[in-house]
Structure 1
């Protein structure tokens, strides 16, 4: 079995490699060459932690496995480590033998950013110039760096529940040579692309905050009850997602489905756009929305890629297991 420790991931996995892996697995999902297993996510009754499993099988990439981990809200304060902790396990699809164990913390951040970046590539207007960020935490910095590679953006605007955190994304903008402006939510009307990446259980982005032609990537809702945008916004938009079953149950669409403003058959897998079986954006006035719920196959795809890189560079740890 190959082990790739967390400490090695930063020197192995690039944003480009993560993007390619996620784009390919979304395409495999839409063509039914890959599928996700049911998600297990539970409060364990200790340390206020949420723990769970996401897994799946990609027949096209011959990748089988799962990610185990979750959210420990007191980690940073009490233990000096990040709150999200995870590990990816890969298995041989032909024999079931364990093939690899890979640190999943940085990979999770990279694959989540890659998903929204894939949505921008395939759904945002080509002439998009202003990107709006809702959220300014750890994941928001990964989101913004990846997104800026997809269009010739000229400005970044941002809003956060805690304004003192906005310098996190301001630094990313400045490093990219772009001006940054902290704005009120109604100023998101200025944005051509909006990424929402919060852990909120009540909407902040409302339908009247979004101008025609905008592309929105909703990346924070991955649990029943969470919500980042008003359900009425999904009714105005053409909605895409990574996986429909997760979108309607634990993703942003759960609320629009529940109140009847959106039907399941109005949601399209983004892999269909990648494969060319759906046209994607139909006009410059259309609002497109990507509901990024985070699927296990994303984790397996980036973990498989990093294992190959570790082997190629001779830094993989091999153990008899």
Structure 2
């Protein structure tokens, strides 16, 4: 509820703008070696409600804090449980003592930072005069993808597709706050007409690309968001091989992103490298480019910083005692036991 209070009070645009700018700063610091890298996420596959995963994503800022997100990806949630496909919690620990200092829901934060990361990549790799955005997959992630892009580009037309027609129809309502012209089209039409494409689907492992290898605009930029399992990919491999492919986290993208299918020589610089030195991005803006967005823990660490900053300024947040601290630090049992 307090996250909703923050969004209502601060405004969606202000929060998204802050997220984009803070992520840009974070990627630049990472690319310049001023921030430590995050390890790749780890977890396990679940089969109890269709195929899904439960993963943990840690980031350590030495001398300050550590952030850990535990996230569940369950494509069956919407139909079976009326829950989001991606749910999770995020926690913050003091680096000096190891104490838990903050705990927050991660559903909104994940959507915000994923959309913001695509905006950071698109600012670098897409042409500044991009006007047509295509969305393949119109779930919760699509809302924040379009919102983030709308803050950086003069979007005139949005074309969307989803294998679930109800999702596509409802997206026209869910995105109405942006005031954009949104229409539904086949995926191949989106691939052929859009300046910027965002793919955020729940396509299954080994199912193949979500659009065919059609002729795209020569300068097309794609934010590929949905590849998050070994063997799960969204884009035609031929498109990847003629594009500059930039992962967010190289090791992670090799394991479960679009980069799974590419050799080392076919993978371009990661996003942090591009933010720190944008020359390679500028040279590629008139050619196909792909941001291989698997989402990693530094993004969550920064997103939590943004949330906690707003919460502190607004006096929000509920103090709770989760940890038990015995009177004698050397005795784990209470005196009366």
Larger radius of gyration: 2
Task: Quickly name the TM-score band, shorter chain normalised.
Answer: 0.7 to 0.9
TM-score using structure 1 length: 0.87
Which shows bigger deviation, 87-96 or 148-157? 87-96
> Aligned partners of 2:266, 2:104: CA distance in 1, in Å?
36
**Alpha carbons 2:224, 2:292 under 8 Å: kept:** yes
> Aligned partners of 1:212, 1:317: CA distance in 2, in Å?
51
Deviation per CA, 1:35-87: give whole Å up to 9, x if none.
1123212134544552120111245x944221012134454455443242211
**Alpha carbons 1:70, 1:86 under 8 Å: kept:** yes
Offset of residue 27 of structure 1: 2.0
Match of 1:92 in 2: 94
Offset of residue 6 of structure 1: 5.4
TM-score using structure 2 length: 0.84
Deviation per CA, 1:144-193: give whole Å up to 9, x if none.
11111111111111222223322233335654333233222332211111
Deviation per CA, 1:228-251: give whole Å up to 9, x if none.
101111111011121111111111
Match of 1:296 in 2: 297
1:166 alignment partner, SS class:
helix
Alignment of 1:1-321 (within 5 A): 8=5, 10-11=7-8, 14-32=15-33, 33-44=35-46, 46-48=48-50, 49-58=52-61, 62-171=64-173, 174-187=176-189, 188-201=191-204, 202-255=208-261, 257=262, 262-263=263-264, 266-276=267-277, 278-320=279-321, 321=323
Q: Which has the higher contact order (CA 8 A, sep 6+)?
A: 1
**Alpha carbons 2:6, 2:310 under 8 Å: kept:** no
> Aligned partners of 1:174, 1:74: CA distance in 2, in Å?
26
Which shows bigger deviation, 235-244 or 302-311? 302-311
Structure 2: 5+ residue runs without aligned partners?
324-337
How many residue pairs get aligned? The number is: 312
> Aligned partners of 1:209, 1:172: CA distance in 2, in Å?
30
**Alpha carbons 2:39, 2:58 under 8 Å: kept:** yes
Structure showing the higher strand proportion among its residues: 1
**Alpha carbons 1:39, 1:52 under 8 Å: kept:** yes
Structure 1: 5+ residue runs without aligned partners?
none
> Aligned partners of 1:205, 1:73: CA distance in 2, in Å?
20
